[in-house]
Amino acid sequence: MHTNANGVNWVNVDMIYPWQQPQWQAIQRLWQAQQLPHALLLQGAADIGKQTFAQHFARALLCHQVDSDYQACGVCKSCRLYQAGSHPDTQLIQRLDDKKEITIEQIRRLIAFLQLSQSISQRKVVVIHQAETMNINAANSLLKTLEEPAANTIILLVSAYPTKLLPTIRSRCQRLLFALPDRRESLTWLQAQTLHTDAAVLLNIAGGKPLLALRYNDESRLAQRTQLINDIGSVMTERKDWLQVAKQWEQHDRQEWLAWQLAWVNDLARLHYDPDATIAEDVSKQLYRLRDLSNPNKLYDLYDSLISRAKIATHTINPLVFMEDVLICWKRVMY
C-alpha cells in the first residue's frame, strides 16, 4: 500500500479475492450487455475486500485493452498510471486520516473533476470508500451529481453500512452485494498466507471475515484482546477500578473494543447453556472464568447495553466516560 499526493491509500489491485468471483461475473455480464450503471453501490460486511474489488474494477474500466474477461491488461499507460496512483481520470474519495467524515470540500473537488473531460481513458471513474462517512452536506452535494449523471462517468460507492447512506443516494445506485465468504474458501485463502496462529482460530475471532482474521495474525493484537478480557475480569472482581482500566484503553479504537466484548458476551451466554460451545479460542480460559462470575440472566441486559453503546461509538464523545460506562455495565452482571 502506498499513499499518493492527496494522502489517499492505494491498495494493490492486481487480484480480486477468490470469494469475489460471483460479483466479478455479475460485472462482466453488465459490461458485455453494455449496461454498466452510472452509479454502483458495493455493499456487504466490512473486511471482506470490497475496496480492493472496487479499485480492481476501476482499473479495468480505465484500461485501454481489457481482455475477454474484462480484466485490465496491467501494462498499458492507463494501468501503469493507475497503479502509480496518478491516473488523471480517476479519483478515490475516502475519509482523510485526521477527519471523522468525508467533507463537502472533498465532494466539491470531485464535482469540479467530473466537469473536466477525460484525458487518457474512455471514461472517468470515481471510487468512494466508506461512503456512509459522507456528512450530510457532502451527501446532498453528491446526490445532485447522481441525479444528473455525466456521460462517460461511473461512480462506485463502497459501504459496509449502506443503511447510513441517504435513501435518495441508495435509490440512485445499482447494488452489488458481497456476502460473507464461505468458511472453507476463507480458510483456504488464510492458510496460503504466512500465519503465526491457526487459521481456524483467527477466522473464528474475526467472525468469519478473512481480512480481519489476517490482521489478528499480528500477535500484539491478540495480546491486546487477552489484556482487555483480563482487565474486565479485574473490574468485575474489584482488583482494578474501572477508571484505571478505562484510562489504559482510552486511545484504542472504540468500535473494535466493543466488537470484541459483544462477541465475548455472546460466547458467555452460550457457555452457560452448553459448556462445550465453540468460543473464541484465544481467550477461552478467561471466558470460562467470566462465565463462573456472571449471572446468565443479566447477560442479555449487558448485551443490549453494549449494542446501544456501539450505535454511538463513532460519535464525538469523551472516550474515558464512554469506556468507564461500558465497564460499569460488566460489573452489573456479577452474581
Which residues sit at the interface with Zn ion, rule CB under 5 A? 63, 72-73, 76, 79
Q: At its nearest, how many Å lie between Zn ion and the CB of residue 286?
A: 51
Nearest-Å Rg of the Cα atoms of the chain is 23
Select 79 or 158, whichever has its Cβ closest to Zn ion: 79
Q: Which is nearer to Zn ion, 73 or 96 (CB)?
A: 73
CB burial of 98-110 (b: ≥16 within 10 Å; e: otherwise) equals eeebbbbebbeeb
Nearer to Zn ion by C-beta: 76 or 104?
76
Alpha-carbon distances, residue 219 vs 212, 216, 260, 297 (angstroms)? 13, 7, 16, 34
Which residue number, 63 or 229, has a Cβ lying nearer to Zn ion?
63
> What's the closest the beta carbon of residue 321 comes to Zn ion, in angstroms?
52
Q: Is 145 within 8 Å of 114 (Cβ atoms)?
A: yes
> With respect to Zn ion, which residue has the nearer C-beta, 63 or 232?
63
Rounded least distance, CB 58 to Zn ion, Å: 12
Nearest approach in angstroms of CB 67 to Zn ion is 9
- Say if residues 17 and 179 touch (Cβ distance below 8 Å): no
Nearer to Zn ion, 66 or 200 (CB): 66
What 84-89 contacts at long range (C-beta under 8 Å, 24+ apart), as own/partner pairs, is 85/2, 85/3, 85/4, 85/5, 85/8, 85/10, 86/4, 86/5, 87/62, 87/120, 87/121, 88/119, 88/120, 89/62, 89/118, 89/119, 89/120, 89/121, 89/123, 89/124, 89/125
CB of 78 to Zn ion, least distance (A): 5
Q: Which residue has the cell 480480486?
A: 16
Least gap, CB of 66 to Zn ion (angstroms): 7
